[in-house]
Amino acid sequence: MIPARAVYRTLLHCYPAAFRDEYGDQMSFAFAEELAEARRTGSRLQQAAVWAGAAADVLIVAPREHCHVIAEDLRYALRMMAAKPGFAIVAVLSLALGIGANTAIFSLWNGVVHASLPGVRQPEQLAILSNPNAAGGWHGNLEGIRDWLSYGEFEELRDRAASFSGVIASQSSLASWQIRFEGHDWEEAQGRLVSGGYFQVLGVKPLLGRIFTAEDDRADSPHAVLSYHYWQRRFGANPDVLGKTLTVGNALLTIVGVTPRGFIGETAGQQPDLWIPLRMQPAVMPGDDWLHDTPPEKAMWLHVFGRLKPGVTLARAEAESNAIFRSSLESFYGGITSIQRRRELLDQRLKLQPGARGASETRGDFSVSLTALLAAVGLLLLIACANLANLLLARGAARRPELAVRLSLGASRGRLVRQLLTESLMLAIFGGLGGLFIAYFLHGALVRMVIASDEDFRMSFSLDPLMLGFTFAVTLAAAVVFGLLPAWQITKIDAGIALKEQSRSATPGIARMRWGRMLVGLQLALSVPLLAAAGLLGRTVYNLQHIQLGYPAAHLLLVHVNSRAAGYDSAQSAVLFRRLIDEIRRIPRVKAASFSSNGVFSGSSSSNSIEVEGYTWRQDRNRDAELDVAGPDLFTSLGVPLLSGRDILASDRAGAPAVCVINEAFANRFFAKRNPIGMHVTSIDNSERTPYQIVGIVRNARTQTLRKELKPEFYIAAAQLQSGLKRANFLIRTNTETAPVLAAVRRAFQRVDAALPIGSAHSLEERLASLTARDHTTAQLGAVFGVLALTLAAIGLYGVMSYSIARRTSEIAIRMALGARSVRIIAMILRETIGLVLAGLAVGVALAYAASRWIASQLYGIAPEDPFTLAIAIGVLLAAMSAAVYLPARRAAQLDPIAALRQE
């Protein structure tokens, strides 16, 4: 039988060590006597009562004693913080910065990259059948994996797919509509066309009124559902909004419901104002019918989601969806006789992906930037922690007498470590709270930066459990990282020696100095990749700003006109565009003007299958070339130099020989050593073949993409395009700043047709700025983090050097008294540091190389391992480190040896 005292002694381990050490013996005496007394009475009940008392003590008294110790530690930690407020402020501030930056970036990363769609029931059951990263549309034909689906394809899937409990479709790009509420002026609103089952399948219950139903897919249903956000903002949450009417395009819609707060739909980061049934598309966008396709062309513009039935895998749903998709393609292309053409057209399929996170245009772009930034702020926090650890080490030396007294009074080393860790935790908790505060502001700034490149992006700062958990974990990790090592090192003291040491200064424990130096080395190593990344990003922005477009970027105004939406047919549009050009050219400060279908940096592009005279396609799968439809004098107006031949002219009208202009890439690709002028390019639009004679070659110009390689492109005359243009992008070259000219352009448009809506109007420079905004953001943040890292590392080294020199005052004084000159003293100190700095830099360079592939996709015109940038980063670090060492070294060299020794 185990002796009762041994059992009781084991129970005593539930009490804090200090309490156990102090009273453990007494308690077990008392317990043993109590038990012996109970045994003497012979009553088992009495004995059981004694044991029950001991058990109750463990459950009630022991936790209370632990709380007492913790409270004591906290009180002590607060007193220590109050005693050295400078240290506490520096520590809390640097931690708050580090934790705040981490929390803010994490919150954005979580919202953009990771979070499920808000307000959607069981989002993990959703599958997306279209490409979640693409928003937009395509009219014509596509091959391979489909980005978007047509309305007809959606209907087939909705009606036939058994893998899903429901299938829904939505307009993939957020539309900007001009709308008018009864009795009000026109105003702009963002919205989406969605299928009838949209809200039901997403599991959304209306806050007010009703939502769309399957009925809305069957009949034209002139209804609209508002988002909570819009209802609040536009209607002040007035419940009378139900039944009000609004006009969009040709449609008169009645508001039937409001969605609950937080619901944004199927696309992450976008907040629509209202939703309209898909069946209303032709009325909402007059001039375009995207619901009915005539073979062989389709309007592909929808995102399609399905809610998987329980137990159905994504693979099974994909197989079934593709079978349905294929049969719908076969019936659609049934009329095509050419077997080869049919095979090409049928080469399309769907790829299903988990839909819980919804669609997002920005996610792909941002996830790389944000993951890199998350890594950068993580490094930054590590550097801050290393710095704090160093400060704590240095401070620990000053606290040696205090700790030695506590040790000699009987405190255990574990007790001291616990006390010191409590102090670190205290600092970290204050830092964490400050971090949340900083994160709140940083988050706002970050979102504004995202909006600069994606104006539909919306995201509010929310303290959800995941965010709080992250902040808490980071705080805790920081406390352990910066607290544990110093606590362990500082308490490694012999009470007797430490107390005697008080009277005279001595070289501190070699181990502690070594740890301090290693921490500085680590900071240096971590700073190299951050600084190098900042440099690379900075040069990327510079390269993007100084990119050769092939024409001047300044003084170019871009105006988009959608004539079809304003009710013009093809023939009328051609006349309209001619009149608009004439009016624009009459404006005094306009140097030249033209238009084209895609314009420059409008986001739209087109391509067509072609055959080129004298050129035979080999095994090419893709027999397309980029195509734009140009107004007269396009290249002259834009300023793209002609290499040979001529521009598209006003004389290239319907009836005249069909002509085209090609770019340099086209000439190099298809006419290696031949002269292209006079040769023919045949454009194949389905079975229709139109040959165009090449009349000019222009230099390559960047018109749609800054980063991608330029493709072969040909340009045909708008007046010779049989189907005519539905919309045009006007390119207006001005003599002066574009802003004042824009007003004149608007007036000119009004003179031609007062009802003509101008889609968008801005200067090319504004457009380019918004295209490179994300690069700017990343570079700015990178620079901020780089400078912070540099500062922290320099402070760290400065601190360690000042401290070690201060501790060596007597040694230096003796050397000087023996005749060493200041220069020698400085050289000695520098020599002792150079190894540390070089080792840190060497590790840092290795880290930078290892991390370089992470950043590669963010760069433009510069290699991720660019040696020049790395050299500059190292140079900057070396300069900062030299300053951090030189200042304390010079102070040491200016010592008055006699005074210093007397002080000792």
Partner 1 sequence: MDEPTPDSLLPLPTAVFHILIAVADRDRHGYSIMQDVSARTADKVRLSPGTLYSSIRRMLEQGLIEELADSPDPSNSDERRRYYRVTRFGKRVAAVEVERLKALIREARATGLAPSA
Pick the piece of the chain touching partner 1 (CB under 8 A) from 60-68, 162-170, 781-789, 873-881.
60-68
Angle at 832 between CA 831 and CA 837, to 5 degrees: 90
- Least gap, CB of 61 to partner 1 (angstroms): 4
- Least gap, CB of 74 to partner 1 (angstroms): 16
Task: DSSP for 358-415, please give it.
Answer: -B-HHHHHHHHHHHHHHHHHHHHHHHHHHHHHHHHHHHHHHTHHHHHHHHHTT--HHH
| 54 or 95: CB nearest partner 1 | 54
Pick the piece of the chain touching partner 1 (CB under 8 A) from 55-63, 479-487, 683-691, 883-891.
55-63
- Supply the DSSP symbol for 420: H
Q: Which of 4, 65, 265, 594 binds partner 1 (CB under 8 A)?
A: 65
| 57 or 156: CB nearest partner 1 | 57
| 59 or 899: CB nearest partner 1 | 59
Q: Which two tokens stand for residue 641?
A: 């130099």
Pick the piece of the chain touching partner 1 (CB under 8 A) from 61-69, 94-102, 137-145, 349-357.
61-69
61: contact with partner 1 by CB under 8 A: yes
- Least gap, CB of 37 to partner 1 (angstroms): 8
Q: Which of 365, 608, 407, 425 is nearest to 494 (CA)?
A: 407
- Least gap, CB of 59 to partner 1 (angstroms): 10
The CA distance from 746 to 813, in Å, is 81
- Least gap, CB of 409 to partner 1 (angstroms): 15
- Least gap, CB of 68 to partner 1 (angstroms): 8
- Least gap, CB of 63 to partner 1 (angstroms): 11
53: contact with partner 1 by CB under 8 A: yes
- Supply the DSSP symbol for 60: I
| 28 or 103: CB nearest partner 1 | 28
The percent helix, strand, coil of the chain (3-state, each to 5) is 55, 15, 30
49: contact with partner 1 by CB under 8 A: yes
- Least gap, CB of 423 to partner 1 (angstroms): 19
| 54 or 697: CB nearest partner 1 | 54
Site string for partner 1, 367-396 (x = CB under 8 A): ------------------------------
Site string for partner 1, 7-46 (x = CB under 8 A): --------x---x--xx-xxxxxxx-xx------------
Q: Which two tokens stand for residue 671?
A: 């006419």
- Least gap, CB of 483 to partner 1 (angstroms): 26
Residues 6+ apart with CB under 8 A from 833: 797, 801, 881, 885
Give yes or no for a cis peptide into 260 (omega within 30° of 0). Answer: no
411: contact with partner 1 by CB under 8 A: no
The CA distance from 634 to 628, in Å, is 11
- Least gap, CB of 24 to partner 1 (angstroms): 9
| 46 or 607: CB nearest partner 1 | 46
Residue 873: enclosing H or E segment and its boundaries?
Answer: helix 867-893
| 82 or 899: CB nearest partner 1 | 82
- Least gap, CB of 436 to partner 1 (angstroms): 35
Pick the piece of the chain touching partner 1 (CB under 8 A) from 49-57, 254-262, 554-562, 783-791.
49-57
| 61 or 323: CB nearest partner 1 | 61
Q: Which of 47, 57, 302, 559 binds partner 1 (CB under 8 A)?
A: 57
Task: DSSP for 211-265, please give it.
Answer: ---THHHHS---EEEE-HHHHHHHHTT-GGGTT-EEEETTEEEEEEEEPPTT---
Q: Which of 4, 47, 54, 676 binds partner 1 (CB under 8 A)?
A: 54
CB-CB contact of 106 with 445 (8 Å)? no
| 65 or 155: CB nearest partner 1 | 65
Give the start-end residues of each E strand in 632-722: 642-645, 659-663, 680-685, 688-698, 713-717
| 68 or 689: CB nearest partner 1 | 68
| 20 or 341: CB nearest partner 1 | 20
- Least gap, CB of 124 to partner 1 (angstroms): 50
| Amino acid identity for residue 447 in this structure | V
CB-CB contact of 377 with 172 (8 Å)? no
| 65 or 266: CB nearest partner 1 | 65
Q: Which of 578, 703, 584, 563 is nearest to 632 (CA)?
A: 578
| 64 or 261: CB nearest partner 1 | 64
Q: Which two tokens stand for residue 155?
A: 């209907």
The CA distance from 375 to 850, in Å, is 13
- Return the residues of window 277-316 that contact partner 1 according to CB under 8 A: none
677 class by beta-carbon count within 10 Å (0-12 exposed, 13-18 middle, 19+ buried): middle
The CA distance from 714 to 720, in Å, is 14
- Least gap, CB of 29 to partner 1 (angstroms): 6
Q: Which two tokens stand for residue 351?
A: 């790829």
62: contact with partner 1 by CB under 8 A: yes
- Return the residues of window 83-102 that contact partner 1 according to CB under 8 A: none
58: contact with partner 1 by CB under 8 A: yes
What are the residue ranges of helices labelled H in 491-613?
Answer: 495-501, 510-545, 570-585
Pick the piece of the chain touching partner 1 (CB under 8 A) from 58-66, 328-336, 391-399, 530-538.
58-66
| 57 or 155: CB nearest partner 1 | 57
| 25 or 896: CB nearest partner 1 | 25
CB-CB contact of 588 with 745 (8 Å)? no
64: contact with partner 1 by CB under 8 A: yes
Pick the piece of the chain touching partner 1 (CB under 8 A) from 56-64, 143-151, 395-403, 441-449.
56-64
- Least gap, CB of 418 to partner 1 (angstroms): 18
- # residues near partner 1 by CB under 8 A: 24
Residues 6+ apart with CB under 8 A from 486: 389, 392, 393, 396, 420, 424
The CA distance from 692 to 678, in Å, is 9
Q: Which of 6, 7, 56, 850 binds partner 1 (CB under 8 A)?
A: 56
- Least gap, CB of 34 to partner 1 (angstroms): 7
CB-CB contact of 892 with 805 (8 Å)? yes
Q: Is 894 helix (H, G, I), strand (E, B) or coil?
A: coil
Residue 24: enclosing H or E segment and its boundaries?
Answer: helix 17-41
If one counts every other C-beta atom within 10 angstroms of the C-beta of residue 867, the result is: 8
Which whole-number Å values give the CA distances from 232 to 175, 236, 260, 273, 335, in the listed order?
20, 5, 11, 10, 52
- Least gap, CB of 876 to partner 1 (angstroms): 52
652: contact with partner 1 by CB under 8 A: no
The CA distance from 367 to 113, in Å, is 6
Sign of the CA dihedral with 510 first, then 511, 516, and 521 last: positive
- Least gap, CB of 88 to partner 1 (angstroms): 22
- Least gap, CB of 85 to partner 1 (angstroms): 22
- Return the residues of window 186-245 that contact partner 1 according to CB under 8 A: none
Pick the piece of the chain touching partner 1 (CB under 8 A) from 57-65, 142-150, 496-504, 853-861.
57-65
Residues of this chain that bind partner 1 (CB under 8 A)? 15, 19, 22-23, 25-31, 33-34, 49, 53-54, 56-58, 60-62, 64-65
